[in-house]
Amino acid sequence: MGKPDKARGKLVIVSGPSGVGKGTICAEVAKRLGNVLISVSVTTRPQGKDEVSGREYWFVSPQEFQRRIDEDLFLEYAEVFGHLYGTSKDEVENALSSGKTVILEIDVQGGKRVKVIYPQAVMIFILPPDQKELARRLSGRGRDEIEVAEKRLDGAGTEIASAFQYYEHMVINDDLNQAVSEVINIIEQTIGEKV
């Protein structure tokens, strides 16, 4: 008898307002679980001085991003605070086909679009302990101009309200280790086995 085909991987969507710690949580979850790929989004946002293309994001020109839209290469894409962000269809599908659990760290509107295509996707929303703490985290990142940080904070309330309609799981990131453990438990329980 031949070897059975490798089981198809699972898709996990992680969303939350800017500054809530999604990236840190996703990185720690992937490190602890092993067979996990964090999808790297494509963006037209300028590359930060400590960022590496292919690690935080794939940084491309608006023209290149548009070419990928025209060729239907994105699973989802959106404009967020004046910049485009998208998820590569091929990257996600190849990882799922190879049996990996794929984490998409995307916004709520992207999460809703992906859930239509992958109805079995697990949706997790990361919440700040409160608005004051989120404002502190946003200002502490030093990544945005004041106006952009204020827009991100203003948008957080809308995003959180929308998430309560569409996301099955909510995790408050008050204590990082606790939040990571909760996300891991959700993934393991919904997938039905250890990743």
The Cα–Cα gap between 167 and 105 comes to 14
Answer whether residue 79 is part of any domain: yes
pLDDT tens-digit map of 87-113: 999 999 999 999 999 999 998 889 999
pLDDT score of 84? 95
pLDDT score of 132? 62
CATH of the domain at 183: 3.40.50.300
- Tell me how many domains the chain contains: 1
Boundaries of domain holding 180: 11-191
- DSSP letter for 8, please: P
pLDDT tens-digit map of 132-156: 655 555 555 444 454 544 555 555 6
Answer whether residue 129 is part of any domain: yes
For residue 39, pLDDT beyond 70: yes
Measured in degrees and rounded to the nearest 5, phi and psi for residue 59 equal -90, 120
Across 158-172, average pLDDT: 84
Answer whether residue 3 is part of any domain: no
Q: What integer best gives the mean pLDDT of the chain?
A: 84
* 142 φ/ψ sector (left φ>0, alpha ψ -120 to 50, else beta): left
Answer whether residue 41 is part of any domain: yes
Answer whether residue 1 is part of any domain: no
Across 16-21, average pLDDT: 84
Across 8-18, average pLDDT: 91
pLDDT tens-digit map of 178-190: 999 999 999 999 8
| Predicted confidence band of residue 164 (pLDDT cuts 50, 70, 90) | confident
Answer whether residue 136 is part of any domain: yes
pLDDT score of 173? 92
pLDDT score of 191? 73
pLDDT score of 18? 78
The Cα–Cα gap between 102 and 149 comes to 29
Element (H, E) at 37: strand 36-38
**Dmax (CA) of the chain:** 63
Answer whether residue 4 is part of any domain: no
pLDDT tens-digit map of 123-138: 999 988 765 655 555 5
Answer whether residue 64 is part of any domain: yes
Q: Which amino acid is at 189?
A: Q
